[in-house]
Chain A
Amino acid sequence: MRWLAEVHVALRSGIADPEGQTIGSALRSLGYSTVTEVRSGKLMRIALEADDHVAAESAVSEMCRRLLANPVMETASWELRADEQPDADEALP
């Protein structure tokens, strides 16, 4: 069956994020003075076939470890759900 994973990749907390800092200062210059910090990252939506949740989870975990995030400077987290609508266009807007 088909699964959808939303993978979030972010810089580790100790690694400076100049992009996030720039976005943060842009927000403050627009008047959002309550913004104290912005961290930027990447979002990847991955559709995959797997027999069950455990298999899908295992595949996504391996993808993150091998390619999607560099553990030296990044962390990866993901949400996984069964794809109710197997139409690719609908599933991945």
Chain B
Amino acid sequence: MTLVTGRPRVAVAVFPGTWSERDFAHVAESVLGWEASLVWHTESNLGRPDAVVLPGGFAHGDHLRTGAVARFSPIMRAVEAFAAGGGPVIGSCNGFQVLTEAGMLPGALTRNDHLEFRCDWQTLRVERPGAAQAWLGDLGEGELIRLPISHGEGRYVADAQTLDELERTGRVVLRYADASGRVTPEANPNGSERGIAGIVNAGGNVLGLMPHPERAAEPEVGGTDGLRLFRSLERWLQARPAAAERRL
């Protein structure tokens, strides 16, 4: 099948202060055998990727607000155009913050309610995976996965109307949960509204999440649940006729 469709190609955006780009590239290239290119934020061209990654870190030092300056980097115009064309985009941690600042996802992320930086493994409950088919298509409704979190500003906030709209349209796709899948204040590592850990845009192609799937892609690092997002993408790309045609 790879002979027909070619290897998936991901473009990983790199801002000054990004720190997870090599982890994403490592998983794409060394674990999955994909092609990955690191694209500096001043570029206005992503190449012709199948998917775009906005990785974690502290873009532009997170000065003013997380993601506030990064959204104006030239590469973001290309990311917006790619997403507008239906291309799959994932923003993890700082990447999620950039997506909200850029208005590509609703809401905002601010200081954890306990003011601590939290670096830990976290159980997440998958909801409405079909709403984010490209990234969560291999996962089941209500399934529990474990991914690392690593952030000081991961508290998802939005007004009640926006939150209700996200819930009503099934766009809350990941919630912080305890080991038995209950979404409780104790299981919430940062005070996010309604335990929200990940949301998807209305088109279903832009996923933002605070956890780090790229840090859970090999058994040596403690878990492989993150790999399932990459596998979902691979399957989605192979099933997409347009992608196959572009490869031929």
Asked if A19 lies at the interface with its beta carbon under 8 angstroms from chain B, I say yes
Q: Is B157 touching A72 in the complex (CB atoms < 8 A)?
A: yes
Among B100-108, B168-176, B213-221, the stretch that binds chain A is: B100-108
Q: Is A70 touching B111 in the complex (CB atoms < 8 A)?
A: no
Q: Is B115 touching A72 in the complex (CB atoms < 8 A)?
A: no
Residues of A whose CB lies within 8 Å of any CB of B are: 11, 14-16, 18-19, 22, 67-68, 70, 72-73
Asked if B68 lies at the interface with its beta carbon under 8 angstroms from chain A, I say yes
Nearest chain A residue, comparing its CB with the CB of B107: A72
Q: Is A73 touching B114 in the complex (CB atoms < 8 A)?
A: no
Q: Is A73 touching B68 in the complex (CB atoms < 8 A)?
A: no
Residues of B whose CB lies within 8 Å of any CB of A are: 64-65, 68-69, 72, 100-101, 106-108, 110-115, 155, 157-159, 191
A15 to B68, CA, bound (A): 18
Q: Is A22 touching B115 in the complex (CB atoms < 8 A)?
A: yes
Looking at the assembled complex, report how far the CB atom of B138 sits from the nearest CB atom of chain A, in whole angstroms: 32
A18 to B133, CA, bound (A): 36
Q: Is B64 touching A18 in the complex (CB atoms < 8 A)?
A: no
Q: Is A70 touching B101 in the complex (CB atoms < 8 A)?
A: yes
- Taking CB atoms, residues of chain A closer than 8 Å to B64 are 67-68
Q: Is B111 touching A72 in the complex (CB atoms < 8 A)?
A: no
A70 to B159, CA, bound (A): 13
Q: Is B191 touching A16 in the complex (CB atoms < 8 A)?
A: yes
Q: Is A18 touching B100 in the complex (CB atoms < 8 A)?
A: no
Cβ contact of A72, chosen from B69, B72, B108, B155, cutoff 8 A: B108
A16 to B157, CA, bound (A): 9
- Taking CB atoms, residues of chain B closer than 8 Å to A67 are 64, 68-69, 72
- Taking CB atoms, residues of chain A closer than 8 Å to B69 are 67
